Chains A and B, each alone.
Chain A
Protein backbone atom coordinates (compact mmCIF):
# COMPACT_ATOMS: atom_id res chain seq x y z
CA UNK A 1 0.00 0.00 0.00
CA UNK A 2 2.80 2.40 0.86
CA UNK A 3 4.33 2.10 -2.60
CA UNK A 4 1.06 2.87 -4.29
CA UNK A 5 1.79 5.18 -7.24
CA UNK A 6 -0.04 8.47 -7.64
CA UNK A 7 -2.58 8.20 -10.40
CA UNK A 8 -2.02 11.58 -11.93
CA UNK A 9 1.19 13.47 -12.12
CA UNK A 10 0.38 16.93 -13.30
CA UNK A 11 0.67 19.38 -10.40
CA UNK A 12 -2.31 21.76 -10.45
CA UNK A 13 -0.14 24.79 -9.98
CA UNK A 14 3.46 25.77 -10.57
CA UNK A 15 4.20 25.08 -6.90
CA UNK A 16 5.97 21.90 -5.94
CA UNK A 17 3.42 19.23 -4.95
CA UNK A 18 2.26 19.68 -1.37
CA UNK A 19 2.27 16.81 1.07
CA UNK A 20 -0.12 15.71 3.75
CA UNK A 21 -0.29 12.89 6.26
CA UNK A 22 -1.72 9.49 5.57
CA UNK A 23 -1.80 7.97 8.99
CA UNK A 24 1.74 8.66 10.15
CA UNK A 25 3.23 8.69 6.68
CA UNK A 26 3.77 11.84 4.68
CA UNK A 27 2.32 11.46 1.21
CA UNK A 28 1.55 13.77 -1.64
CA UNK A 29 -1.77 15.44 -1.17
CA UNK A 30 -3.26 13.98 -4.30
CA UNK A 31 -2.12 10.56 -3.32
CA UNK A 32 -3.93 10.60 0.01
CA UNK A 33 -7.30 10.62 -1.70
CA UNK A 34 -6.39 7.46 -3.56
CA UNK A 35 -4.96 5.79 -0.47
CA UNK A 36 -8.01 6.57 1.67
CA UNK A 37 -10.14 5.26 -1.11
CA UNK A 38 -8.19 2.03 -1.11
CA UNK A 39 -8.62 1.65 2.64
CA UNK A 40 -12.39 1.96 2.52
CA UNK A 41 -12.69 -0.03 -0.65
CA UNK A 42 -11.05 -2.88 1.17
CA UNK A 43 -12.95 -2.59 4.45
CA UNK A 44 -16.42 -1.88 2.99
CA UNK A 45 -17.82 -5.40 3.18
CA UNK A 46 -16.76 -5.98 6.76
CA UNK A 47 -17.17 -2.39 7.85
CA UNK A 48 -20.26 -2.76 10.03
CA UNK A 49 -19.15 -5.81 11.93
CA UNK A 50 -15.73 -4.27 12.48
CA UNK A 51 -17.34 -1.13 13.85
CA UNK A 52 -19.21 -3.15 16.42
CA UNK A 53 -16.13 -5.10 17.35
CA UNK A 54 -13.77 -2.17 17.51
CA UNK A 55 -15.98 0.03 19.60
CA UNK A 56 -17.65 -2.80 21.52
CA UNK A 57 -20.92 -1.56 20.09
CA UNK A 58 -20.59 1.86 21.64
CA UNK A 59 -20.47 3.56 18.22
CA UNK A 60 -24.21 3.03 18.05
CA UNK A 61 -24.68 5.10 21.17
CA UNK A 62 -22.38 7.85 19.88
CA UNK A 63 -24.35 7.99 16.66
CA UNK A 64 -27.62 7.92 18.50
CA UNK A 65 -26.48 10.78 20.67
CA UNK A 66 -25.50 12.72 17.56
CA UNK A 67 -28.96 12.27 16.08
CA UNK A 68 -30.61 13.21 19.36
CA UNK A 69 -28.62 16.46 19.22
CA UNK A 70 -29.42 17.16 15.59
CA UNK A 71 -32.86 18.70 16.03
CA UNK A 72 -33.89 16.94 12.83
CA UNK A 73 -37.62 16.79 12.28
CA UNK A 74 -40.22 15.88 9.74
CA UNK A 75 -39.67 17.67 6.43
CA UNK A 76 -36.00 18.44 6.95
CA UNK A 77 -33.30 18.01 4.35
CA UNK A 78 -30.31 16.24 5.84
CA UNK A 79 -26.85 15.54 4.45
CA UNK A 80 -25.16 12.48 5.95
CA UNK A 81 -21.68 13.20 4.69
CA UNK A 82 -19.05 10.46 4.52
CA UNK A 83 -22.12 8.48 5.43
CA UNK A 84 -20.55 5.16 4.47
CA UNK A 85 -22.82 2.29 5.24
CA UNK A 86 -25.70 4.54 6.23
CA UNK A 87 -26.13 4.10 9.98
CA UNK A 88 -27.23 7.68 10.51
CA UNK A 89 -29.18 7.91 7.26
CA UNK A 90 -31.49 5.06 8.24
CA UNK A 91 -32.75 6.86 11.31
CA UNK A 92 -32.79 10.27 9.65
CA UNK A 93 -34.86 8.85 6.83
CA UNK A 94 -37.61 7.78 9.20
CA UNK A 95 -37.56 11.04 11.11
CA UNK A 96 -37.71 13.41 8.12
CA UNK A 97 -40.50 11.33 6.60
CA UNK A 98 -41.94 11.60 3.13
CA UNK A 99 -41.84 15.36 3.05
CA UNK A 100 -38.14 15.38 3.90
CA UNK A 101 -35.00 14.12 2.24
CA UNK A 102 -31.77 12.47 3.25
CA UNK A 103 -28.68 12.54 1.08
CA UNK A 104 -26.16 9.86 1.85
CA UNK A 105 -22.93 11.11 0.37
CA UNK A 106 -19.60 9.35 0.32
CA UNK A 107 -16.51 9.50 -1.83
CA UNK A 108 -16.32 5.75 -2.02
CA UNK A 109 -18.66 3.77 -4.21
CA UNK A 110 -18.05 0.48 -2.42
CA UNK A 111 -19.14 2.00 0.90
CA UNK A 112 -22.13 3.66 -0.79
CA UNK A 113 -23.16 0.36 -2.28
CA UNK A 114 -23.07 -1.41 1.08
CA UNK A 115 -25.08 1.50 2.50
CA UNK A 116 -27.65 1.38 -0.27
CA UNK A 117 -28.12 -2.38 0.08
CA UNK A 118 -28.44 -2.11 3.83
CA UNK A 119 -31.04 0.66 3.71
CA UNK A 120 -32.97 -1.21 1.07
CA UNK A 121 -33.02 -4.25 3.34
CA UNK A 122 -34.41 -2.04 6.07
CA UNK A 123 -37.21 -1.01 3.72
CA UNK A 124 -35.89 2.51 3.33
CA UNK A 125 -36.03 3.68 -0.27
CA UNK A 126 -38.23 6.61 -1.03
CA UNK A 127 -36.55 9.56 0.63
CA UNK A 128 -32.86 8.73 0.54
CA UNK A 129 -30.59 9.72 -2.33
CA UNK A 130 -27.11 8.34 -2.79
CA UNK A 131 -24.45 10.68 -4.05
CA UNK A 132 -20.82 9.92 -4.65
CA UNK A 133 -19.09 13.10 -3.62
CA UNK A 134 -15.94 14.50 -2.14
CA UNK A 135 -16.55 16.48 1.03
CA UNK A 136 -14.12 19.11 -0.24
CA UNK A 137 -16.23 19.92 -3.26
CA UNK A 138 -19.84 19.20 -2.46
CA UNK A 139 -21.98 19.09 -5.59
CA UNK A 140 -24.97 20.86 -4.07
CA UNK A 141 -26.28 24.41 -4.41
CA UNK A 142 -25.69 26.95 -1.63
CA UNK A 143 -28.05 26.84 1.36
CA UNK A 144 -29.48 23.38 0.69
CA UNK A 145 -29.49 21.48 4.00
CA UNK A 146 -31.07 21.96 7.39
CA UNK A 147 -28.59 19.63 9.03
CA UNK A 148 -25.26 18.16 7.99
CA UNK A 149 -23.62 15.34 9.88
CA UNK A 150 -20.20 13.88 9.27
CA UNK A 151 -19.53 10.88 11.49
CA UNK A 152 -16.05 9.41 11.59
CA UNK A 153 -15.42 10.94 8.20
CA UNK A 154 -13.58 14.21 8.62
CA UNK A 155 -10.29 12.68 9.66
CA UNK A 156 -10.06 10.92 6.31
CA UNK A 157 -10.52 14.10 4.34
CA UNK A 158 -7.33 15.52 2.89
CA UNK A 159 -8.11 19.22 3.07
CA UNK A 160 -10.32 19.61 6.11
CA UNK A 161 -10.54 23.39 5.89
CA UNK A 162 -11.79 23.14 2.36
CA UNK A 163 -14.31 20.50 3.37
CA UNK A 164 -15.61 22.59 6.28
CA UNK A 165 -15.98 25.59 3.97
CA UNK A 166 -17.86 23.46 1.50
CA UNK A 167 -20.22 22.20 4.22
CA UNK A 168 -20.77 25.76 5.38
CA UNK A 169 -21.71 26.78 1.87
CA UNK A 170 -24.37 24.09 1.37
CA UNK A 171 -25.88 24.52 4.84
CA UNK A 172 -29.00 26.68 5.09
CA UNK A 173 -28.84 29.75 7.31
CA UNK A 174 -30.05 28.56 10.70
CA UNK A 175 -28.79 25.07 9.94
CA UNK A 176 -26.31 23.13 11.98
CA UNK A 177 -23.29 20.96 11.38
CA UNK A 178 -22.47 18.04 13.63
CA UNK A 179 -19.03 16.48 13.47
CA UNK A 180 -18.66 13.18 15.28
CA UNK A 181 -15.05 12.12 15.32
CA UNK A 182 -12.38 10.41 17.33
CA UNK A 183 -10.62 12.93 19.48
CA UNK A 184 -8.20 13.28 22.32
CA UNK A 185 -9.07 11.49 25.56
CA UNK A 186 -9.05 14.00 28.38
CA UNK A 187 -7.42 11.65 30.82
CA UNK A 188 -3.80 10.55 30.49
CA UNK A 189 -4.41 6.99 31.61
CA UNK A 190 -7.36 6.55 29.31
CA UNK A 191 -5.31 8.04 26.52
CA UNK A 192 -2.51 5.50 27.07
CA UNK A 193 -4.88 2.57 27.33
CA UNK A 194 -6.65 3.70 24.25
CA UNK A 195 -3.38 4.05 22.31
CA UNK A 196 -2.44 0.58 23.35
CA UNK A 197 -5.77 -0.69 22.18
CA UNK A 198 -5.82 1.10 18.87
CA UNK A 199 -2.21 0.51 17.86
CA UNK A 200 -1.79 -3.03 19.04
CA UNK A 201 -5.13 -4.71 19.38
CA UNK A 202 -7.03 -2.97 16.60
CA UNK A 203 -4.78 -3.99 13.67
CA UNK A 204 -4.82 -7.54 15.02
CA UNK A 205 -8.59 -7.64 15.13
CA UNK A 206 -8.54 -6.14 11.64
CA UNK A 207 -6.25 -8.89 10.51
CA UNK A 208 -8.34 -11.58 12.09
CA UNK A 209 -11.77 -10.46 11.03
CA UNK A 210 -11.18 -8.59 7.82
CA UNK A 211 -7.79 -10.04 6.93
CA UNK A 212 -6.57 -6.52 6.53
CA UNK A 213 -4.20 -5.27 9.23
CA UNK A 214 -2.89 -2.39 7.09
CA UNK A 215 -6.21 -0.66 6.78
CA UNK A 216 -6.83 -0.82 10.49
CA UNK A 217 -3.31 0.36 11.19
CA UNK A 218 -4.18 3.37 9.03
CA UNK A 219 -7.39 3.90 10.96
CA UNK A 220 -5.52 3.93 14.26
CA UNK A 221 -2.93 6.35 12.92
CA UNK A 222 -5.49 8.63 11.35
CA UNK A 223 -7.30 8.84 14.67
CA UNK A 224 -4.13 10.02 16.33
CA UNK A 225 -3.41 12.59 13.63
CA UNK A 226 -6.87 14.11 13.77
CA UNK A 227 -7.00 17.60 15.29
CA UNK A 228 -7.94 17.55 18.98
CA UNK A 229 -11.09 19.20 20.31
CA UNK A 230 -10.05 22.85 20.55
CA UNK A 231 -8.23 22.79 17.25
CA UNK A 232 -11.19 21.39 15.37
CA UNK A 233 -13.45 23.93 17.03
CA UNK A 234 -11.16 26.71 15.81
CA UNK A 235 -11.17 25.24 12.31
CA UNK A 236 -14.96 25.26 12.28
CA UNK A 237 -15.03 28.86 13.40
CA UNK A 238 -12.52 29.72 10.72
CA UNK A 239 -14.87 28.21 8.15
CA UNK A 240 -17.62 30.55 9.35
CA UNK A 241 -19.54 28.42 11.85
CA UNK A 242 -20.91 30.17 14.91
CA UNK A 243 -21.88 29.12 18.41
CA UNK A 244 -19.39 26.33 17.98
CA UNK A 245 -19.21 23.89 20.88
CA UNK A 246 -18.12 20.35 21.51
CA UNK A 247 -18.90 17.58 23.93
CA UNK A 248 -16.57 14.80 24.86
CA UNK A 249 -18.11 11.36 24.76
CA UNK A 250 -16.64 8.37 26.55
CA UNK A 251 -13.87 10.43 28.09
CA UNK A 252 -12.97 12.24 24.88
CA UNK A 253 -12.23 9.13 22.86
CA UNK A 254 -14.88 10.67 20.67
CA UNK A 255 -16.09 14.25 20.52
CA UNK A 256 -19.22 15.74 19.03
CA UNK A 257 -18.63 19.22 17.62
CA UNK A 258 -21.47 21.39 16.53
CA UNK A 259 -21.68 24.73 14.80
CA UNK A 260 -24.38 26.85 13.24
CA UNK A 261 -24.58 28.95 10.12
CA UNK A 262 -26.48 32.19 10.64
Chain B
Protein backbone atom coordinates (compact mmCIF):
# COMPACT_ATOMS: atom_id res chain seq x y z
CA UNK B 1 0.00 0.00 0.00
CA UNK B 2 1.40 3.34 -1.08
CA UNK B 3 0.09 4.72 2.19
CA UNK B 4 2.83 2.91 4.02
CA UNK B 5 5.37 4.91 2.10
CA UNK B 6 3.52 8.20 2.38
CA UNK B 7 3.08 7.75 6.12
CA UNK B 8 6.80 7.27 6.57
CA UNK B 9 7.85 10.11 4.32
CA UNK B 10 5.34 12.34 6.05
CA UNK B 11 6.72 11.42 9.44
CA UNK B 12 10.25 12.10 8.24
CA UNK B 13 9.37 15.51 6.76
CA UNK B 14 7.53 16.64 9.86
CA UNK B 15 10.27 15.37 12.08
CA UNK B 16 12.93 17.25 10.16
CA UNK B 17 11.07 20.54 10.04
CA UNK B 18 10.10 20.08 13.69
CA UNK B 19 13.78 20.22 14.56
CA UNK B 20 14.12 23.82 13.40
CA UNK B 21 12.41 26.19 15.81
CA UNK B 22 11.98 28.78 13.05
CA UNK B 23 10.27 26.49 10.62
CA UNK B 24 6.84 27.03 12.19
CA UNK B 25 6.99 30.67 11.10
CA UNK B 26 7.89 29.67 7.57
CA UNK B 27 5.22 26.98 7.57
CA UNK B 28 2.69 29.61 8.57
CA UNK B 29 3.14 31.35 5.23
CA UNK B 30 1.97 28.16 3.62
CA UNK B 31 -1.07 27.51 5.80
CA UNK B 32 -4.06 26.41 3.80
CA UNK B 33 -1.97 25.98 0.67
CA UNK B 34 -1.21 22.77 -1.12
CA UNK B 35 1.38 21.52 -3.53
CA UNK B 36 1.00 18.67 -5.94
CA UNK B 37 4.22 17.00 -6.99
CA UNK B 38 4.29 14.71 -9.98
CA UNK B 39 7.53 12.79 -10.01
CA UNK B 40 7.91 11.18 -13.38
CA UNK B 41 9.28 8.06 -11.76
CA UNK B 42 6.20 7.52 -9.59
CA UNK B 43 2.85 6.17 -10.71
CA UNK B 44 0.82 8.60 -8.61
CA UNK B 45 1.03 12.27 -7.77
CA UNK B 46 1.90 13.32 -4.24
CA UNK B 47 -0.10 15.99 -2.52
CA UNK B 48 1.35 18.11 0.25
CA UNK B 49 -1.14 20.03 2.35
CA UNK B 50 0.17 22.61 4.76
CA UNK B 51 -1.17 23.52 8.16
CA UNK B 52 0.79 23.57 11.40
CA UNK B 53 2.40 20.51 9.86
CA UNK B 54 2.61 18.81 6.49
CA UNK B 55 0.08 16.20 5.47
CA UNK B 56 1.21 14.10 2.60
CA UNK B 57 -1.11 11.98 0.53
CA UNK B 58 -0.74 9.73 -2.41
CA UNK B 59 -3.75 9.91 -4.63
CA UNK B 60 -4.23 6.82 -6.72
CA UNK B 61 -7.39 7.74 -8.56
CA UNK B 62 -7.25 10.90 -10.67
CA UNK B 63 -10.84 11.77 -9.67
CA UNK B 64 -9.84 12.02 -6.04
CA UNK B 65 -7.16 14.54 -6.75
CA UNK B 66 -7.79 17.86 -5.12
CA UNK B 67 -6.84 20.94 -7.11
CA UNK B 68 -3.65 22.18 -5.48
CA UNK B 69 -2.45 25.76 -5.20
CA UNK B 70 0.57 24.75 -7.23
CA UNK B 71 1.58 21.75 -9.31
CA UNK B 72 5.11 20.65 -10.11
CA UNK B 73 6.15 17.99 -12.56
CA UNK B 74 9.74 16.83 -12.58
CA UNK B 75 12.23 14.00 -12.32
CA UNK B 76 13.62 12.75 -9.07
CA UNK B 77 17.07 14.17 -9.85
CA UNK B 78 15.60 17.62 -10.28
CA UNK B 79 13.95 17.37 -6.89
CA UNK B 80 17.30 17.85 -5.26
CA UNK B 81 17.85 21.13 -7.12
CA UNK B 82 14.52 22.50 -5.97
CA UNK B 83 16.05 23.24 -2.61
CA UNK B 84 17.52 26.33 -4.18
CA UNK B 85 14.44 28.45 -4.75
CA UNK B 86 16.37 30.92 -6.90
CA UNK B 87 16.82 28.17 -9.45
CA UNK B 88 13.11 27.60 -10.13
CA UNK B 89 12.95 29.83 -13.19
CA UNK B 90 16.13 28.37 -14.57
CA UNK B 91 14.80 24.83 -14.17
CA UNK B 92 11.61 25.81 -15.96
CA UNK B 93 13.61 27.32 -18.79
CA UNK B 94 15.72 24.21 -19.04
CA UNK B 95 12.45 22.27 -19.25
CA UNK B 96 13.39 20.21 -16.26
CA UNK B 97 10.39 21.47 -14.38
CA UNK B 98 6.78 22.16 -15.24
CA UNK B 99 5.08 24.53 -12.84
CA UNK B 100 1.38 25.33 -12.92
CA UNK B 101 -0.31 27.66 -10.45
CA UNK B 102 1.04 29.74 -7.64
CA UNK B 103 4.81 29.97 -7.92
CA UNK B 104 4.99 31.54 -4.49
CA UNK B 105 3.92 28.22 -2.97
CA UNK B 106 6.74 26.38 -4.70
CA UNK B 107 9.20 29.02 -3.55
CA UNK B 108 8.00 28.91 0.02
CA UNK B 109 8.21 25.13 0.15
CA UNK B 110 11.65 25.27 -1.34
CA UNK B 111 12.85 27.80 1.20
CA UNK B 112 11.16 25.91 4.01
CA UNK B 113 13.65 23.13 3.44
CA UNK B 114 16.51 25.27 2.23
CA UNK B 115 16.56 27.45 5.29
CA UNK B 116 16.33 24.68 7.82
CA UNK B 117 18.66 25.55 10.63
CA UNK B 118 18.81 22.50 12.70
CA UNK B 119 21.10 22.71 15.62
CA UNK B 120 21.64 19.02 15.92
CA UNK B 121 23.79 19.29 19.01
CA UNK B 122 21.37 21.52 20.82
CA UNK B 123 18.50 19.32 19.74
CA UNK B 124 20.06 16.11 20.89
CA UNK B 125 21.79 17.44 23.96
CA UNK B 126 18.32 17.94 25.38
CA UNK B 127 18.08 14.22 25.65
CA UNK B 128 21.46 13.53 27.17
CA UNK B 129 22.13 16.69 29.10
CA UNK B 130 24.88 19.14 28.25
CA UNK B 131 27.72 16.72 28.68
CA UNK B 132 29.88 16.54 25.60
CA UNK B 133 27.21 17.39 23.14
CA UNK B 134 29.04 15.98 20.18
CA UNK B 135 28.64 12.50 21.58
CA UNK B 136 25.00 12.86 20.88
CA UNK B 137 25.66 12.77 17.18
CA UNK B 138 26.09 9.10 17.68
CA UNK B 139 22.50 8.99 18.82
CA UNK B 140 21.34 10.85 15.75
CA UNK B 141 23.08 8.43 13.49
CA UNK B 142 21.67 5.40 15.19
CA UNK B 143 18.19 6.88 14.89
CA UNK B 144 18.85 7.27 11.23
CA UNK B 145 20.07 3.75 11.05
CA UNK B 146 16.93 2.57 12.76
CA UNK B 147 14.80 4.48 10.29
CA UNK B 148 16.65 2.76 7.48
CA UNK B 149 16.18 -0.71 8.88
CA UNK B 150 12.55 0.09 9.44
CA UNK B 151 12.19 1.04 5.81
CA UNK B 152 13.95 -2.15 4.76
CA UNK B 153 11.80 -4.30 7.00
CA UNK B 154 8.76 -2.50 5.68
CA UNK B 155 9.74 -3.27 2.14
CA UNK B 156 9.94 -6.99 2.60
CA UNK B 157 6.91 -7.16 4.87
CA UNK B 158 4.92 -5.18 2.43
CA UNK B 159 5.90 -7.02 -0.71
CA UNK B 160 3.72 -9.87 0.42
CA UNK B 161 0.89 -7.64 1.50
CA UNK B 162 0.98 -5.58 -1.63
CA UNK B 163 0.58 -8.45 -4.01
CA UNK B 164 -3.09 -8.93 -3.55
CA UNK B 165 -5.34 -10.38 -6.15
CA UNK B 166 -8.11 -7.85 -5.85
CA UNK B 167 -9.09 -4.37 -6.95
CA UNK B 168 -6.39 -2.65 -5.03
CA UNK B 169 -3.71 -5.10 -6.04
CA UNK B 170 -0.40 -3.57 -6.79
CA UNK B 171 1.17 -4.97 -9.91
CA UNK B 172 4.74 -6.13 -10.24
CA UNK B 173 5.79 -2.94 -12.03
CA UNK B 174 4.34 -0.79 -9.33
CA UNK B 175 6.08 -2.89 -6.75
CA UNK B 176 9.33 -2.38 -8.63
CA UNK B 177 8.58 1.33 -8.58
CA UNK B 178 8.00 1.14 -4.88
CA UNK B 179 11.30 -0.64 -4.46
CA UNK B 180 12.98 2.09 -6.44
CA UNK B 181 11.38 4.67 -4.22
CA UNK B 182 12.72 2.92 -1.19
CA UNK B 183 16.17 2.93 -2.77
CA UNK B 184 15.83 6.64 -3.39
CA UNK B 185 14.78 7.19 0.16
CA UNK B 186 17.63 5.13 1.41
CA UNK B 187 20.23 6.97 -0.62
CA UNK B 188 18.68 10.23 0.57
CA UNK B 189 19.05 9.12 4.14
CA UNK B 190 22.60 8.01 3.44
CA UNK B 191 23.36 11.47 2.16
CA UNK B 192 21.84 12.89 5.29
CA UNK B 193 24.00 10.56 7.28
CA UNK B 194 27.08 11.83 5.48
CA UNK B 195 26.08 15.40 6.19
CA UNK B 196 25.66 14.55 9.82
CA UNK B 197 29.13 13.15 9.87
CA UNK B 198 30.51 16.34 8.37
CA UNK B 199 28.65 18.36 10.96
CA UNK B 200 30.00 16.18 13.67
CA UNK B 201 33.53 16.74 12.43
CA UNK B 202 32.95 20.46 12.30
CA UNK B 203 31.58 20.37 15.84
CA UNK B 204 34.61 18.49 17.08
CA UNK B 205 36.95 20.98 15.53
CA UNK B 206 34.98 23.78 17.15
CA UNK B 207 35.32 22.32 20.63
Q: Which residues of A contact B (CB under 8 A)?
A: 60-61, 64-65, 67-74, 91, 94-95, 97-99, 123, 186-187, 246-252
Contact = CB atoms under 8 A, between A and B. Distances in A.
B166 interface: yes
Contacts of B34: 73-74
A247 B63 CA distance: 15
Contact of A94 (B49, B59, B65): B49
Given A72-B66, A73-B67, A64 B168 contact: no
A70 B3 CA distance: 14
B164 A68 contact: no
> How would you classify the secondary structure of chain A's contact residues: helix, strand, loop or mixed?
mixed
Contacts, number: 70
A130 to B, nearest CB: 20
Contacts of B59: 68-69
A99 B32 CA distance: 9
B166 A251 contact: yes
Contact of B166 (A67, A74, A248): A248
B7 A60 contact: yes
B163 to A, nearest CB: 10
Interface of B: 1, 3-4, 6-7, 31-32, 34, 49, 51-53, 55, 57-61, 63-67, 161, 164-168
Contacts of A251: 164, 166
A250 B161 contact: yes
| Residue among B58, B63, B164 having the largest count of chain A Cβ atoms under 10 Å | B164
Contacts of B64: 68-71
Contacts of B4: 61
Closest 6 CB pairs of A and B: A94-B51, A73-B66, A248-B166, A64-B3, A68-B57, A97-B32
Nearest to B167: A247
A246 B166 CA distance: 11
A247 B31 CA distance: 32
